[in-house]
Each structure stands twice: as C-alpha cells, then as structure tokens.
C-alpha cells in the first residue's frame, strides 16, 4: 500500500476529520454561487445549475446502467417526458398553471410510467440488443414531440413550448431577485439552492438503494440474470423497478429544467444528450455515486471551460490559430478517449469494479489456482 493510501484510510477512520470534511463541503456548496459569480461571472452560476440537473440525470441512469446493468441509450426521453409534462401543466399553451408541487411529481410519475412502458418489451433483451431498442425509444419520443402539433396541438411541434411558468413555491418565485440582509439572490442563485436540495435528496436515495434488498437484486441481475432468477428474484419486476426509478429521477430533472429554462423544444432531447449522460456515468465510474457525480460535473463544466481556448491562444501566442469552437470538441473528445484509456473503470471506480480490475497479489495467485482446478 502506498503512503498516501494509508494516510487516506487513517483520515477516513478519524471522526473529527470526517466531520470537518463535511463541514467544509457544506460551506463550499453554500457559498459556491456567490464565489463563482464574483470570480467567473453570472454565466458560470447558470452552468453550475445545469451541472446539478445533469447530476440528477446521471444518477438516474446510474440505477439502470450502473446497478442493474441494463444499457439504455434513450434515457433522455424521460428527461423530455418530465419537462413536457411540467411545461404543459404550467404554461399558457393550455392555459394551465399548476403549482410546482403538483406538476413536478406528476411529471416524475409519468416519466416512471414511460420507464415501465420502455422496460416491458425489452425484458428479454440484453446488452447491445437492449441498447438498440432503447435508442429507438429515445428517438420515438423526440419525433412524437416534434410532430404532435396536429391534428390536436399537444406539444406545439418543433416550435416547442414557450413562457413556461418559473418555479414558484407558495410566495417564493425562484425567478425573482431577493435581497436578504443586504445580500442579493438573483434567479440563478435561487435555482442553485433548489436544485442542490433535490440533488442531495436524489444522492441520498441512491445511497440508500445501493445497499438494500432491492439494490442487491439489481446487482445480482447485472451479474447473472439466470442465476438471479434461479435464486428467487422476480427479474421482470426488479428490472422494471430499475427502469421506473431511473426514469423518475430523469422526470424530476426534466421538470426542473423546463421551469428553469422557461422554454423547451424537442431539439433539447436528441440522441447526443442521451450519449453524453451515458458518458457521465461511464466516465465517472459506473455504479459509484461519487464517480457519477464527478462525471456529470466534469462533462458539463469542461466543454464550457474550453470556450476560453481562443482567449488562451491569444494570450499565449498573440493570435488565434484554431477557432475555439472547432478546437473545443476536439479537445473534449480527446479527453474522453484518454480517460477511458487510463481509467477504464471510470475516474472513481465503484468498489466492486476496483476489486474486479485491480486484483491484489495473493488474490491473483488464488485466481490462477482456481483456473487450474477448473481445467482438470
């Protein structure tokens, strides 16, 4: 064991250190929008708000892909469903203005129903076959949203839905600026605290589910579906539950997105979005909550940071050689490739995967012995 690992474990055991670390994290999270706003500008607070939405999405997909091992390439459909339900219930489109505490849970519930709808026909499929069907499902939802403006105008087609009610809880409108004790809270900051609260709730739920009877059943299905069934797990129900839970998180995130943005259109829910959320899960570390959060934060902020590449070239070389917009995606793609080469199990692999890929010496010897046994 290396020195820093030993020190790290020592810290993890020390209660005061752990408590201190949580207090520091709490203070950082509480002050983040103000510090960011003051240093990087208001635009970055907005980016952080989006990062939180993506954390919720990635944690939802993590249940489906990371825990239950069901490769879902159409996950963004649930985000879309949540967003559209909220938008239809709280916008001038139908003249409905439901309060958020009704529209948001309903959006999440409808998304869960769609999760089950997607899950049911795919129960017999695994791996790449499942991936293709879910991919199709994602596209179907987007195309429906795009075309359901006739004969009855449900979704307003490609124009999307505009003037969605901002989120308002009783008298607290999140899109207004408040001043408390001389500190000004603009909308981006208000939404930050709302999103943070819900993200923390979703993190809490993810942790609780992870070591529970249901969580173990999900992992068992991922490991060996036939053995799981032969051990008494109702694989159909448990898989549908994974789809529904994942979709619920997606639906919550989508509803918040609609209220925050004020405008949604089918364009926001294309295949690329599904892929990027999947990247967050895989890159961060499938099945590991901290890893998935890190993946989501990095993949939302990094492309934004790369917008400064033009300025950086100007500062260093005095001129811009390659347009930042072109360079940005190139560097981003390269970073993804490099992470996958050097951290194949993700930036922060789950305990399980870490044990899987990096066997300690005595364990490796044992493994050879058991292989030898099997060959006899």
Partner 1 sequence: MTPSAKADADMLLALQGVSKQFGGLAALSDVSLGVAQGEIYGLIGPNGAGKTTLFNVVTGLYSPDHGVVRLGETLLSGCKPHEVVTRGLARTFQNIRLFANMTALENVMVGRHVRTQAGVLGAIFRGATTRAEESAIERRAHELLNYVGVGTHAQRLARHLSYGDQRRLEIARALATDPQLLALDEPAAGMNAIETAALQELLQRVRADGVTILLIEHDVRLVMDLCDRVAVLDYGKKIAEGAPSTVRNDPVVIEAYLGGAA
Candidate residues 38, 234, 307, 358; the one interacting with partner 1 per rule CB under 8 A: 234
Of residues 215, 246, 266, 310, which one binds partner 1 by CB under 8 A?
215
Q: Which stretch binds partner 1 (CB under 8 A): 19-27, 48-56, 332-340, 350-358?
A: 350-358
Q: Is 319 in the site for partner 1 (CB under 8 A)?
A: no
Among 124, 232, 272, 318, binds partner 1 (CB under 8 A): 232
* Cα–Cα dist 339/345, whole Å: 9
CB nearer to partner 1: pick between 126 and 216? 216
Contact between 298 and partner 1 (CB under 8 A)?
A: no
Please report how close the Cβ of residue 207 comes to partner 1 at its closest, in angstroms: 10
Task: Catalogue the long-range contacts made by 183-187 (C-beta closer than 8 Å, 24 or more residues apart).
Answer: 183/34, 186/42
252 touching partner 1, by CB under 8 A: no
- Does the protein bind partner 1 through residue 216 (CB under 8 A)? yes
Q: Which residues within the stretch 168-187 sit at the binding site for partner 1 (CB under 8 A)? A: none
* Closest to partner 1 by CB, 232 or 318: 232
Q: Which of 100, 139, 150 is nearest to 260 (CA)?
A: 100
Q: Where are the alpha helices (DSSP H) in the chain?
A: 3-13, 15-39, 42-61, 76-89, 100-119, 127-147, 187-210, 213-223, 225-230, 235-261, 271-285, 289-305, 309-317, 324-342, 351-357, 361-375
* Site residue total, partner 1 (CB under 8 A): 39
Binders of partner 1 among residues 79 to 138 (CB under 8 A) are: none
- Among 227, 325, 329, 334, the residue binding partner 1 under the rule CB under 8 A is 227
- Smallest gap, in angstroms, from Cβ of residue 296 to partner 1? 21
Other Cβ atoms within 10 Å of 312 Cβ, number: 13
Alpha carbons 66 and 42: distance in angstroms, whole number: 34
Which DSSP category does 90 fall into? E
Contact pick of 161, 219, 277, 286 for partner 1 (by CB under 8 A):
219
Binding residue for partner 1 (CB under 8 A) from 87, 217, 309, 339? 217
Which tokens hold the place of 354? Answer: 């870490």
- In whole angstroms, what separates CA 14 from the centre of its chain? 31
Q: Could you say whether residue 229 binds partner 1 (CB under 8 A)? A: yes
Closest CB to partner 1 among 229 and 324?
229
Q: Is 159 in the site for partner 1 (CB under 8 A)?
A: no
366 near partner 1 (CB under 8 A): yes
328: exposed, middle or buried (Cβ count in 10 Å: 0-12, 13-18, 19+)? buried
| Token pair in block for residue 20 | 């201190």
Of 48, 59, 53, 58, which is closest to residue 202 (Cα–Cα)? 59
Q: What are phi and psi of 169, to 5 degrees?
A: -110, 110
The β-bridge partners of 184 are 179
In whole angstroms, give the CA distance from residue 290 to residue 349. 9
Of the residues 128, 176, 224, 323, which one makes contact with partner 1 according to CB under 8 A: 224
Bond prior to 349 in cis (omega within 30° of 0): no
Out of 205, 305, 335, 347, the residue judged to bind partner 1 by CB under 8 A: 205
Q: State in angstroms the smallest separation of the CB of 75 from partner 1.
A: 19
Min dist. Cβ of residue 252 to partner 1 (A): 14
* Phi and psi, residue 180, nearest 5°: -120, 125
CB closer to partner 1, 23 vs 363? 363
Is 359 a binder of partner 1 (CB under 8 A)? yes
| Residue 197 near partner 1 by CB under 8 A | no
Binding site residues, partner 1, CB under 8 A: 204-205, 208-209, 212-217, 219-220, 223-224, 226-235, 241, 245, 352-353, 355-356, 359, 363, 366-367, 369-370, 373-374, 376
């Amino acid at each position: 064991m290396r020195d820093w690992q030993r020190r790290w474990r020592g810290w993890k055991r020390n209660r005061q250190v752990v408590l201190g670390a949580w207090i520091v994290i709490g203070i950082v999270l509480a002050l983040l929008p103000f510090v960011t706003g003051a240093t990087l500008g208001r635009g970055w607070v907005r980016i952080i708000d989006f990062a939180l939405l993506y954390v919720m999405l990635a944690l939802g997909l993590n249940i489906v892909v990371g825990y239950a091992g069901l490769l879902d390439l159409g996950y963004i459909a649930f985000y879309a469903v949540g967003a559209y339900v909220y938008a239809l219930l709280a916008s001038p489109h139908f003249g409905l203005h439901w309060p958020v505490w009704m529209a948001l849970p309903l959006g999440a519930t409808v998304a869960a129903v769609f999760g089950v709808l997607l899950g049911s026909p795919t129960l017999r499929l695994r791996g790449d076959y499942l991936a293709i069907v879910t991919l199709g499902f994602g596209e179907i939802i987007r195309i429906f949203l795009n075309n359901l403006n006739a004969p009855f105008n449900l979704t307003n087609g490609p124009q999307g839905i505009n003037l969605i009610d901002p989120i308002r809880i009783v008298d607290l409108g999140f899109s207004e600026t408040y001043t408390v004790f001389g500190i000004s809270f603009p909308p981006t900051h208000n939404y930050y605290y709302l999103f943070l609260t819900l993200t923390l709730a979703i993190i809490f739920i993810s942790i609780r589910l992870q070591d529970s009877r249901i969580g173990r059943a999900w992992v068992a299905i991922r490991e060996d579906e036939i053995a799981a069934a032969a051990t008494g797990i109702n694989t159909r129900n448990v898989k549908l539950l994974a789809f529904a839970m994942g979709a619920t998180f997606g639906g919550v995130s989508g509803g918040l997105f609609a209220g925050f943005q004020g405008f949604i259109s089918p364009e926001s829910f294309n295949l690329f979005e599904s892929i990027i959320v999947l990247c967050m899960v895989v890159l961060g570390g499938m099945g590991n909550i901290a890893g998935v959060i890190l993946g989501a934060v990095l993949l939302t902020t990094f492309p934004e940071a790369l917008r400064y590449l033009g300025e950086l070239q100007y500062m260093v070389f005095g001129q811009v050689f390659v347009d930042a917009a072109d360079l940005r995606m190139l560097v981003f793609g390269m970073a993804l490739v490099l992470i996958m080469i050097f951290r194949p199990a993700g930036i922060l692999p789950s305990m399980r995967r870490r044990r899987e890929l990096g066997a300690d010496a005595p364990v490796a010897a044992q493994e050879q012995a058991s292989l030898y046994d099997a060959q006899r």
